[in-house]
């Protein structure tokens, strides 16, 4: 038997990344509804997590038994059509010169108040509120929207943290280049 030592810090981060990934997958179908057609990067609404989130929709009613599953299946079909429309519009915008980063979240339909505010606050709150309202009509669909609202908070928070880290690294790299250029002038 091999002596295997486990790194608790690495295990903790692996668990956190798994949780964030599941939240991103769970929120992806709802996120597609809040995003303006074609503005998201090709991998944001088309990657593995998106497919996983899309596949969760027909399975969700099984977790909320007994329930009427028809609303969830209608939502699944409408989301499938919406994702196709996103892809077609994205290809059309690319031909016009619009080339977002492949993992760009896209522009929110509520971005008149600022894309960051819409993504971080308005979308999750409105999704969860709609879920609470619909829970009386359709329990499975309402619960899905409530959980998706919470997942949107985790998903957008993670993406914003990644973007902030990238910007900070870019500023640091720029500062280092300026510092090195000054040293080269002196020497």
132-187 pLDDT tens trace: 999 988 889 999 999 999 999 998 888 888 888 888 999 999 999 999 988 888 87
pLDDT band at 2 (very low <50, low <70, confident <90, very high): low
Q: How many CB atoms lie within 10 A of CB 169?
A: 10
Domain total of the chain: 1
Two tokens at 152? 């949107």
| Domain hosting residue 136, numbered range | 9-186
Residue 146 maps to a domain: yes
Most distant CA pair in the chain: distance in Å? Answer: 77
Residue 106 maps to a domain: yes
Residue 105 maps to a domain: yes
Two tokens at 14? 């692996």
pLDDT tops 90 at residue 49: no
Residue 41 maps to a domain: yes
If you average pLDDT over each of 13-17, 21-25, 121-125, 165-169, which comes out highest? 121-125
Residue 2 maps to a domain: no
pLDDT attached to residue 7: 79
Residue 4 maps to a domain: no
Tell which residue, 39, 66, 83, 36, has the closest CA to residue 143.
66
pLDDT above 70 covers a percentage of the chain that reads: 97
């Amino acid at each position: 038997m091999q002596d295997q030592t486990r790194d608790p810090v690495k295990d903790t981060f692996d668990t956190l990344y798994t949780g964030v990934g599941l939240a991103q997958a769970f929120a992806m179908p709802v996120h597609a509804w809040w995003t303006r057609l074609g503005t998201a990067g090709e991998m944001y609404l088309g990657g593995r997590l998106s497919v996983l989130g899309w596949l969760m929709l027909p399975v969700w009613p099984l977790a909320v038994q007994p329930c009427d599953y028809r609303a969830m299946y209608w939502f699944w079909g409408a989301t499938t059509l919406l994702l196709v429309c996103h892809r077609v519009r994205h290809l059309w915008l690319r031909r016009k010169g619009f080339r977002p980063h492949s993992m760009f979240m896209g522009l929110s339909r509520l971005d008149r108040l600022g894309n960051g505010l819409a993504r971080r606050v308005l979308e999750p709150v409105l999704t969860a509120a709609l879920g609470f309202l619909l829970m009386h009509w359709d329990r499975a669909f309402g619960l899905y929207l409530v959980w998706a609202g919470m997942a949107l908070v985790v998903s957008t928070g993670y993406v914003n943290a990644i973007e902030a880290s990238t910007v900070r690294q870019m500023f640091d790299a720029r500062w280092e280049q300026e510092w090195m250029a000054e040293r080269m002038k002196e020497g």
